[in-house]
Amino acid sequence: MPEADLYLDLLKKALTASLYDESAGHASNRIKVNNEVVTLPPGVALVQYRPLDQMARAEGRDWPLFGFSMAGLRRMDNIQFCLDRILEDGVPGDLIETGVWRGGATIFMRGMLASRGVTDRTVWVADSFEGLPPPSAGDLAHGGKDPDHSQEAYLKVSLEQVQENFRRFGLLDGQVRFLKGWFRDTLPAAPIERLALLRLDGDLYSSTMDALGALYHKVSPGGFVIVDDYHAWEGCRKAVDEFRAAHGVAAPIVQVDWTAVYWRV
C-alpha cells in the first residue's frame, strides 16, 4: 500500500477511535436520580464503559468516548472516495462540513488534501460550536420523533477545542477556515465561491434546510453532496427530499451505510 494511503488508513482509525478497546463508551451530563433527571455541573460527566464493538464503530452506530468523529470508518471511506473522484476529475471548489462535533471529518478532509499535495483548496468547518439548537417549531413539525440533544454537554465542543484537535494532527493551517454560529446566520454570507464537496451533518430539519439553501447552488457540476443523518433523523430526510423535489434534483441517492447517503451533482 502506498505511504499516503497507509497514512490515511491510520488517520481514519485514529479519528474514529477504532484502535483501542478503551475507546468505546458514552459520556452524559444528565443522570437519573430517584426518577428525576439531574444535570451535572459543566466539565463533569458520567461515563458508561463498553467494550469496543468493531462493527458498530465501522458503521458509526456508537458515540466514541475519545474519538474525534462519530462518522465511523465507512463514512470516512466515503469521504475519501468522493474526494479522490473530485481530484481525479478536476472538479473545482472547496470542501465543507456543516456540523462538525470534534472536527474529525474535516480533519480527515484536510489530511487527504495534504497527502495528495493539494494546496489550492480550503476546508470549511461550520458549526455553532455550542452543540445542537433546541428544536424549532419547524423541526417539531417535520421531525417530531427526532431526539432533542440541545442540552447534551457531550455534543458541545468549542471552537478552540476543534482548532486544537486540528493542531494535534498537524493540520491546522491557512487551508482550514472556521464558520462559527448557527447556519442560518453564517452560511448565507460565508465567503465561499465554489464547493466540490458539501457534507451535511446538522441532524435537524431546519439545520439541513439552512445548509442546502445557502450552499447547494455553489456545488460545482461533478461535485458531491453527502448527508450524514438521512436515515437516522426524520427531519433531515424530509428536508433533503423536499429540497431535491423543489429544485429538480434527480441525481440518484446512493447509500453509504445504515444512515448516510450521497449523490453527485
Q: What is the pLDDT of residue 116?
A: 96
Burial call 47-74: b when 16+ CB within 10 Å, e when fewer: eeeeebeeeebbbbebbbbebbbbbbbb
For the chain, the farthest-separated pair of C-alpha atoms sits apart, in whole angstroms, at: 60
pLDDT of amino acid 22: 64
Q: Structure pTM?
A: 0.91
Q: Check residue 45 and give its pLDDT.
A: 67
Q: Which residue has the cell 455550542?
A: 130
- pLDDT value, residue 125: 98
C-alpha span between 122 and 106 (Å, rounded) = 10
Question: What cell was used for 192?
Answer: 465561499
Beta bridge partners of residue 37, listed in sequence order: 32
pLDDT less than 70: residues of the chain: 22-31, 43, 45-46, 48
pLDDT tens-place string over residues 47-65: 767 778 889 889 988 888 8
Homologous superfamily assigned to 72-264: Vaccinia Virus protein VP39 (3.40.50.150)
Show the cell assigned to 220: 460545482
Backbone angles phi, psi at 176, to 5 degrees: -120, 125
The boundaries of every CATH 3.40.50.150 domain in the chain are 72-264
CA-based R_g, the chain, Å = 18
